[in-house]
Amino acid sequence: MTLPGQTGNDFLDWLRKEPRFADLPFVFLSGSFLPMDRTRADELGAGGFFVKTGDIQQMVERVESMLKHLPREPRGRDS
């Protein structure tokens, strides 16, 4: 099931065009299994593409993988 309106890839495309957000780490947690969605996310510079699952252990592993994309050191407001 997808949300109505813009897609995650539409949002990522906009995000990458905004200078203040261009370097923001971005990973997908998607309900889409479509290869074209994953390919487009890669083209737009997504750091990862994870598919939702009902298996709680798999979700824990996926969230842990997603968190690896965060900066290691806290960024100040002026960074």
Q: Is the pLDDT of residue 77 over 70?
A: no
Q: Enter the tokens of residue 40.
A: 């487009």
Please tell me the total count of domains within the chain.
Answer: 1
* Inter-residue contact 70 to 48 (CB < 8 Å): no
Q: Is the pLDDT of residue 4 over 70?
A: no
pTM: 0.67
The vertex-57 CA angle with 51 and 58, nearest 5°, equals: 20
Q: Is the pLDDT of residue 79 over 60?
A: no
Question: Would you say residue 5 lies in a domain?
Answer: no
Give phi and psi for 47, each to the nearest 5. -80, -15
Average pLDDT of span 10-26: 89
**What domain range is 35 assigned to?**
25-70
CA distance 72 to 53: 27
Question: Would you say residue 7 lies in a domain?
Answer: no
CA distance 70 to 53: 22
